[in-house]
């Protein structure tokens, strides 16, 4: 058996996905016959103008919504809804205000029946990974936006998903915090070996984090995938990075 025919954990296949909403009684096609293979452990960014269907695609991947046609196949099996091999991170971390950082991160495991002491042990490992060791006992209201989002990331990782689905996770952060968090995400992705599917409207973020960038449009033209053939860790000022940014911006008529 060759390596390419083996199914790796966290492998995702989009097979002929279509989704149409209706707006004022008129059909609003959002995804049309989208097919894509995402390798286990790959980092894929999804970019495109507002309303092009990024969140819709992520919701289909999460199993929060069904496609009109086509399938999402994970590790060889079509999904039929949400699943424990996938974790979703949103723009707002949605922490429970009455639980400490440690309790918030351990909560998902406890919901799955893991005894509290073990859940908290496992949670501590991911709190350390996101650099919040000293804040285990803090309350959510005591955290900055960036710290709260780190807690959200730790909470998602604690259940040890194969696939992380992120919908503009850094979109609400200030510019400096965002750059720091991009570096954190790059490190965490490399250390954890998870498949990362990241929706962002920030082209630089996409180039910084992704192995490939999927560009969706809202003019009915077919989506395009661009490989990011740049060494890691990525250097935002390198010639290759700047060239890639210019090329992607050009796709949106920007410069
Ligand atoms: N539940 C829904 N019902 C009707 N229309 C929707 C629904 N969800 C999204 N849409 C529409 O589908 C399009 C794509 O939305 P979305 O996936 O949220 O875009 P993006 O995340 O790229 O900004 C938009 O025009 C949006 O208004
Ligand atoms: Mg969206």
Last residue of a domain, one of 160, 194, 220: 160
More confident residue, 218 or 140: 140
Give, in degrees to the nearest 5, the angle at Cα 133 between 192 and 178.
65
If asked whether residues 138 and 154 sit together in one domain, one would say: yes
Distance from the CA of 5 to the center of ligand 2, in angstroms? 34
The sign one gets for the Cα dihedral 180, 163, 32, 247 is: positive
Block residue for tokens 């952060």? 173
Atom of ligand 1 nearest to the CA of 65: 1
Q: Is 195 found in the same domain as 95?
A: no
How many distinct structural domains can be found in the chain? 2
For 82-113, what is each residue's pLDDT tens digit? 999 999 999 999 999 999 999 999 999 999 99
CA-based torsion, 213, 219, 221, 222: positive or negative: positive
197: enclosing H helix or E strand: strand 195-199
Please give the distance, rounded to the nearest whole angstrom, from the Cα atom of residue 94 to the centre of ligand 2: 17
Domain co-membership, 70 together with 3 = yes
Q: How far is the CA of 51 from the centre of ligand 1 (A)?
A: 6
Q: CA triplet 180, 56, 32: central angle to 5 degrees?
A: 125
Do 41 and 74 lie in one domain? The reply is yes
Judgement on whether residues 176 and 251 belong to the same structural domain of the protein: yes
Tokens of 194: 């998870």
Token couple for 237 = 């000022």
- For ligand 1, the distance from its centroid to the CA atom of residue 95, given in whole angstroms, is 25
Length of the chain in residues, anyone? 255
How many other C-beta atoms are found inside a 10 Å radius of the C-beta of residue 88? Answer: 21
The answer on 170 and 46 residing in a single domain is: yes
Q: Whose CA is closest to atom 4 on ligand 1?
A: 21
Q: Of 160, 185, 217, which marks where a domain is finished? A: 160
Strand order in the sheet with 43-47: 86-89, 163-167, 195-199, 43-47, 212-215, 224-227
Residues with CB under 5 A from ligand 2 (ion): 54-55
In this predicted model, what pLDDT tens digit does every residue of 157-198 receive, in sequence order? 999 999 999 999 999 999 999 999 999 999 999 999 999 999
Same domain, 150 and 176: no
Task: Say whether pLDDT at 1 is over 50.
Answer: no
Instruction: Determine contact, residues 108/155, Cβ cutoff 8 Å.
Output: yes
CATH value at residue 182: 3.40.50.300
Domain of residue 153: give its range: 91-160
With beta carbons less than 8 A apart as the criterion, state whether 184 and 157 touch.
no
**Mean pLDDT, to the nearest integer, of 48-74?**
97
Give the ligand at the shortest distance from the Cα of 46.
1
The proportion of the chain whose per-residue pLDDT surpasses 70, expressed as a percent, equals 97
For residues 231 and 237, the answer to whether their CB atoms sit within 8 Å is: no
170 and 236 assigned to the same domain: yes
């Amino acid at each position: 058996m060759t390596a390419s025919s083996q199914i790796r954990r966290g492998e995702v296949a989009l097979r002929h996905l279509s989704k149409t909403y209706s707006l004022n009684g008129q059909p609003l096609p959002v995804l049309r016959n989208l097919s894509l293979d995402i390798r286990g452990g790959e980092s894929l960014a999804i970019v495109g103008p507002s309303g092009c269907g990024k969140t819709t695609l992520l919701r289909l991947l999460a199993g929060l919504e069904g496609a009109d046609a086509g399938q999402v196949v994970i590790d060889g099996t079509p999904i039929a809804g949400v699943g424990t091999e996938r974790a979703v991170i949103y723009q707002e971390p949605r922490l429970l205000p009455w639980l400490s950082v440690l309790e918030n991160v351990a909560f998902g495991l406890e919901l799955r029946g893991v005894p509290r002491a073990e859940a908290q042990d496992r949670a501590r490992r991911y709190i350390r990974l996101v650099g919040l060791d000293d804040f285990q006992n803090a309350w959510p209201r005591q955290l900055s936006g960036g710290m709260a989002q780190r807690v959200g990331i730790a909470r998602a990782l604690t259940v040890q998903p194969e696939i992380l689905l992120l919908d503009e996770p850094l979109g609400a952060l200030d510019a400096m915090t965002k750059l720091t968090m991009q570096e954190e995400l790059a490190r965490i992705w490399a250390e954890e070996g998870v498949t990362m599917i990241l929706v962002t409207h920030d082209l630089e973020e996409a180039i910084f984090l992704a192995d490939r960038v999927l560009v969706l449009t809202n003019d009915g033209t077919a989506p395009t995938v661009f490989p990011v053939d740049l060494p890691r860790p990525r250097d935002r000022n390198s010639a290759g990075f700047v060239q890639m940014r210019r090329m992607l911006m050009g796709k949106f008529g920007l410069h």
